C-alpha cells in the first residue's frame, strides 16, 4: 500500500454538541484554523444540534454519532463510532469535555481509534462533575476510571494553567503529557461591526451605562448574584446574553429586585460582538470557570472587565496590565462596588489596541495543538 501523506489524513475534533458554549466555540475555531498541510479537520459530534449549526466552517465535514456519550450507552456509542470511522485515515483526535474524552479514550483502548488521542478539559473538574455531591463509591469509581483513561491519552490539555494543574494532581499525570493551552479568540471580535437593526431597536433604548454579561443561564455563571449586584447600581442597564434553564427564575428575581425594566435578557446571539462593542463594562459573576472565553471577547471588543477571581481562569485573564477589576470575594456588595468603580473610572477603548491577545490568536492556538502530535 502506498504511504499516506499527512495532507490526505484526517484530524478528528470531537465535541458533544454544537450548543452555544465556550468548548463548542473552541472546537469550531480549531476546525477553522487547523493547518491543512498537516491533516484535514473533521468535526465529530455526538449530536448535530445547537446554536452553532449556522457557524460551521463551510469546508469542514461533520460526522454525527447520533447519541450522547453517556456511560450507560457506551457499547452502542462505540459500535456506531466504529461504523462512522471505518475506512477513514485518522491521524489524531482532539476531544473536548470529560464525557466525550472518556468515550474517545475507550475507543482507543479497544482499537476503534488507532491514532493519538488528545483530551481537553474546559472547567473545574471537581465543581463541574459535582464530585462532592456524589455518593462516595460513585465518586471513587469516576475518579479512578478517569485517571486510568487519562493516563493513556497522548496528551491532556487544560484550557488554563489552573485547570491543567488541577487535572494533573487529580489523576497523577506525567508533566510532559500535561499542557495548558489558552482558548482561541474568534477574530471577528477585533473588527468594528455595525449593529443589526433588530438589535439596535432595543439596545438604543437602554439607559447608560450598559453592563453586559454572557453565558448559559445556569447556576455556575452566578447570574443571580449579578442581578443583585446590579440592583445596587442607581443608574444604567444590564444586558444578559445567553439561554438556559434558569431564565424564568432570573426574570422573577429581576422583578423582585425592582430592576426588570432595566434588565434585558437578550437570549443567545450569533453575533454578540454587536452588543459587546457598544456596551460600557463586561461583568462576570461566575462561581467557577475553566477559562472564560467571554472575558477575552470582551477585551477584544474594547470593554473593561469586572470578574470574580474564581477557580479557574479569570486571574490569568484580568491582569494588572488590562483594564478592569478582579473581585476576590463572593460578597455581592463587593461585586457591586467593583462594577460602580470601573464604570466611573475606566472608559471603553477601540477593539484590541490596548490589550495583548497574542496567546489567544486562533492560528497560534491551532499550531500549539498541532505540536502535540509531533510527527504523527
pLDDT at position 355 is 56
What pLDDT digit, counting tens, does each position of 206-229 carry?
A: 999 999 999 999 999 999 999 999
Q: Can you tell me the distance from the alpha carbon of 173 to that of 152, in angstroms, rounded to the nearest whole number?
A: 10
Collapse the DSSP code of 79 into the 3-class scheme (helix H, G, I; strand E, B; otherwise coil) and give the result. Answer: helix
Strands laid side by side in the 90-96 sheet? 61-64, 40-45, 10-15, 90-96, 117-121, 155-158, 178-180
Which candidate, 282, 268, 272, 289, places its Cα nearest to that of 355? Answer: 282
CB neighbours of 287 closer than 8 A, spacing ≥ 6?
127, 219, 220, 221, 222, 308, 310, 330
Which of 172-176, 283-287, 340-344 shows the lowest per-residue confidence on average (mean pLDDT)? Answer: 172-176
pLDDT at position 4 is 43
User: Would you place residue 256 in the very low, low, confident or very high pLDDT band (cuts 50, 70, 90)?
Assistant: very high
Ranges in the chain annotated CATH 3.40.50.2000: 6-184+361-372, 187-357
Exposed (0-12), middle (13-18) or buried (19+): which is 335, by Cβ within 10 Å? buried
Which of 6-15, 308-317, 361-370 shows the lowest per-residue confidence on average (mean pLDDT)? Answer: 6-15
Residue 3 has pLDDT above 80, yes or no: no
- Report the chain's C-alpha Rg in angstroms: 21
Hey, what's the cell of 207? 439607559
Q: Can you tell me the distance from the alpha carbon of 324 to that of 27, in angstroms, rounded to the nearest whole number?
A: 28
Which of 105-114, 287-296, 367-376 shows the lowest per-residue confidence on average (mean pLDDT)? Answer: 367-376
* Reported pTM: 0.90
Q: Can you tell me the distance from the alpha carbon of 101 to that of 203, in angstroms, rounded to the nearest whole number?
A: 40
169-204: b (≥16 Cβ within 10 Å) or e: ebbebeeebbbbbbbbbbbebbeeeebeeebeeebe
* % of the chain residues with pLDDT over 70: 96
User: Would you place residue 350 in the very low, low, confident or very high pLDDT band (cuts 50, 70, 90)?
Assistant: confident
User: Would you place residue 2 in the very low, low, confident or very high pLDDT band (cuts 50, 70, 90)?
Assistant: very low
Q: What are phi and psi of 302, to 5 degrees?
A: 100, 15
Q: Can you tell me the distance from the alpha carbon of 134 to that of 156, in angstroms, rounded to the nearest whole number?
A: 25
pLDDT at position 119 is 98
Decide which of 311 and 204 is more confident: 204
Q: Can you tell me the distance from the alpha carbon of 262 to that of 206, in angstroms, rounded to the nearest whole number?
A: 7
pLDDT at position 375 is 58
Q: Can you tell me the distance from the alpha carbon of 252 to that of 325, in angstroms, rounded to the nearest whole number?
A: 29
Q: Can you tell me the distance from the alpha carbon of 241 to that of 288, in angstroms, rounded to the nearest whole number?
A: 18
User: Would you place residue 352 in the very low, low, confident or very high pLDDT band (cuts 50, 70, 90)?
Assistant: low
User: Contact 355/324 with Cβ under 8 angstroms?
Assistant: no
pLDDT at position 353 is 53
Q: 6-184+361-372, which class in CATH?
A: alpha beta
**Whole-number mean pLDDT of the chain?**
92
Residue 335 has pLDDT above 90, yes or no: yes
Query: E strands, the chain, where?
Result: 10-15, 40-45, 61-64, 90-96, 117-121, 155-158, 178-180, 210-214, 237-241, 263-267, 281-284, 305-308, 324-327
pLDDT at position 5 is 47
Over residues 162-188, the mean pLDDT reads 93
pLDDT at position 187 is 87
Q: 187-357, which class in CATH?
A: alpha beta
Q: Can you tell me the distance from the alpha carbon of 108 to that of 110, in angstroms, rounded to the nearest whole number?
A: 6
Q: Can you tell me the distance from the alpha carbon of 206 to that of 325, in angstroms, rounded to the nearest whole number?
A: 24
Which of 27-31, 98-102, 124-128, 237-241 shows the lowest per-residue confidence on average (mean pLDDT)? Answer: 124-128
Residue 92 has pLDDT above 60, yes or no: yes
pLDDT at position 54 is 85
Would the CA dihedral through 166, 170, 172, 173 be positive or negative?
negative
Over residues 314-334, the mean pLDDT reads 93
Number of C-beta neighbours around residue 19 at 10 A: 18
- Is the bond preceding 326 in cis, omega lying within 30 degrees of 0? no
User: Would you place residue 357 in the very low, low, confident or very high pLDDT band (cuts 50, 70, 90)?
Assistant: low
Range from 4-8, 92-96, 314-318 that averages highest in pLDDT? 92-96
What pLDDT digit, counting tens, does each position of 47-61 carry?
A: 999 989 888 888 899
Over residues 40-44, the mean pLDDT reads 97
Amino acid at each position: 500500500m502506498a504511504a499516506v501523506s499527512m495532507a490526505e489524513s484526517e484530524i478528528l475534533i470531537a465535541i458533544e454538541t454544537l450548543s452555544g458554549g465556550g468548548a463548542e466555540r473552541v472546537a469550531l475555531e480549531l476546525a477553522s484554523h487547523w493547518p491543512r498541510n498537516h491533516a484535514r479537520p473533521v468535526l465529530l459530534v455526538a449530536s448535530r444540534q445547537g446554536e452553532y449549526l449556522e457557524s460551521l466552517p463551510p469546508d469542514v465535514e461533520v460526522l454525527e454519532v447520533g447519541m450522547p456519550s453517556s456511560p450507560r450507552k457506551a457499547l452502542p456509542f462505540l459500535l456506531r463510532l466504529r461504523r462512522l470511522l471505518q475506512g477513514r485515515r485518522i491521524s489524531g483526535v482532539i476531544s473536548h469535555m470529560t464525557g466525550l474524552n472518556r468515550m474517545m479514550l475507550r475507543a482507543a483502548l479497544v482499537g476503534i481509534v488507532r491514532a493519538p488521542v488528545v483530551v481537553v478539559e474546559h472547567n473545574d473538574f471537581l465543581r463541574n462533575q459535582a464530585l462532592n455531591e456524589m455518593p462516595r463509591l460513585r465518586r471513587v469509581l469516576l475518579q479512578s476510571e478517569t485517571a486510568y483513561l487519562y493516563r493513556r491519552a497522548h496528551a491532556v490539555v487544560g484550557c488554563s494553567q489552573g485547570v491543567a494543574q488541577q487535572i494533573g494532581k487529580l489523576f497523577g499525570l506525567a508533566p510532559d503529557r500535561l499542557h495548558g493551552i489558552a482558548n482561541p479568540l474568534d477574530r471577528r471580535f477585533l473588527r468594528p461591526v455595525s449593529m443589526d437593526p433588530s438589535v439596535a431597536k432595543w439596545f438604543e433604548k437602554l439607559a447608560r451605562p450598559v453592563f453586559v454579561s454572557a453565558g448559559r443561564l445556569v447556576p455556575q455563571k452566578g447570574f443571580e448574584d449579578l442581578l443583585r449586584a446590579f440592583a445596587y447600581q442607581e443608574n444604567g442597564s444590564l444586558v444578559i446574553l445567553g439561554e438556559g434553564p434558569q431564565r424564568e427564575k432570573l426574570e422573577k428575581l429581576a422583578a423582585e429586585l425592582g430592576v426588570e425594566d432595566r434588565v434585558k435578557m437578550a437570549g443567545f446571539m450569533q453575533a454578540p460582538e454587536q452588543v459587546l462593542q457598544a456596551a460600557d463594562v463586561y461583568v462576570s459573576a461566575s462561581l467557577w470557570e475553566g477559562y472564560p472565553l467571554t472575558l477575552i471577547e470582551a477585551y477584544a471588543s474594547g470593554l473593561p472587565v469586572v470578574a470574580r477571581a474564581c477557580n479557574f481562569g479569570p486571574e490569568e485573564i484580568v491582569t494588572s496590565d488590562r483594564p478592569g477589576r478582579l473581585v476576590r470575594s463572593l460578597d455581592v456588595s463587593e461585586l457591586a462596588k467593583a462594577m460602580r468603580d470601573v464604570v466611573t473610572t475606566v472608559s471603553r477603548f477601540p477593539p484590541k489596541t490596548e490589550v495583548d491577545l497574542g496567546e489567544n490568536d486562533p492560528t497560534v492556538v491551532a499550531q500549539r495543538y498541532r505540536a502535540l502530535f509531533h510527527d504523527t
